[in-house]
Amino acid sequence: MNHKKWLDKTVQMAVDNVKNGGGPFAAIVVKDGKIIGSGTNLVHQHNDPSAHAELLAIREACAELGSTNLSSAILYASGEPCPMCLGAAYWASVGNIYYACSKNEALQHANFSNPLAAYFPDQEKAPEDRQIPFIQISTNGALTPFHEWNKRNNE
C-alpha cells in the first residue's frame, strides 16, 4: 500500500480547506484501497469543537460500512491526531494510523491563537491538576445506566 500517496492527499485536502476558510487538518479512512470516509477541520465554520477532520472521516467511514468497527481500515491524517480524535480511533478499532505532521511540528509552525485549540498540553496531568479539573463525586445510581445496558444486551 502506498501510504505516502494517501498522506499527500490529506495534506492537499488540508491546504484546500485552509483556502476555503477551514482549519489546517484533513483525514481519510481507507479500506481495501478505497476511501470510505473523509473529513477536513470544520471547527470554526460549524462552531463545533468536535468537527475535527479525523472524527468526520471516522463518522463517514462507519456510516459507509454500517459498523463502528474499522479494524480493517487505515486512518490517514495530515496532522497527528489530538486526544479526542485518537479516542475516536480507539473506539472504532482503526487498524493503523498514519500522519504527515507531528503535533510539535504543527505547534511550531502554525500561529494558533490558543494552543489548547490544537492540542491539550495538560492531558498527562492528574485530573484535579488540569486546567479544567475533573472531579468525581459518588452518586446513587451512577452505575444504573450500565446495568440497564447489560440487561438490554443480554436478553
Contact (CB, 8 A) for 79 and 59: no
Q: Which residues are catalytic?
A: 54
CA distance 66 to 131: 38
- The DSSP code for 129 is G
**Rg over CA atoms, the chain:** 18
CA neighbor of 74 nearest in space, from 28, 13, 39, 38: 28
Edge-to-edge strand list for the sheet holding 34-40: 34-40, 26-31, 74-79, 96-101
Contact (CB, 8 A) for 41 and 22: yes
